[in-house]
Amino acid sequence: MKRSYLQTILLSFLLVSCAGLPANAQSEEPVFVVTTKNRDDQVDIQYDNGVASIDIRSSTGIGSATLELESGTMPGNMILRLHLKGLEELRLTSSQTSIEVSVSNSDPSDIHQRIIAASSDTPLLPDHPLWMKVEIVSPQAEKKIPLEEGYFEVTVPKEFIQKAGNSFEIQWTDFFR
């Protein structure tokens, strides 16, 4: 009787421990297929608490990468880290929207953004839902361009992410290529 009771407890424990996720369950973490224009360009994606941090390194200073969602769901928040000396232009393009930002090489606080459409370009203002927050992240005391160390951190607007569907393209141009 004692042995049967012990076996029942062990069997119950085994069943509970194996009852985690079903065999066909997928991770919530998205998986992207990344295709770069230039072979030497590097795009690394890290996930932390629902935020996708996308690090971009480009030896030529001009490039593009297409990110296509292979599995999971599109992250709610994305941050681009462009390891460039200057940001002449960054363009995000989906099937629905194309937006662009440029940071002045003479005054890094002078940031211009626009929506690019087939018939016209429309300037973006900071209160627009497609406005990209841009920050220079650098250990340098003075945030000046060309960056000797650091990167440009660009927050991808939530509205862009929501309208992107399953893929979008990132294009960049460095002033100092």
pLDDT in tens, 117-128: 877 889 999 999
Please indicate, yes or no, if residue 6 is contained in any of the structural domains. no
Please indicate, yes or no, if residue 162 is contained in any of the structural domains. yes
The neighbouring-strand residues paired with 69 are 32
Predicted confidence at residue 49, as pLDDT, reads 87
Query: Total domain count for the chain?
Result: 1
Please indicate, yes or no, if residue 116 is contained in any of the structural domains. yes
Predicted confidence at residue 27, as pLDDT, reads 54
Q: Which residues have C-beta within 8 Å of that of residue 20, sequence separation ≥ 6?
A: none
Structural domain range at position 75: 24-173
Please indicate, yes or no, if residue 12 is contained in any of the structural domains. no
Output the pTM of the full model: 0.82
Neighbours of 60 (CB within 10 A): 11
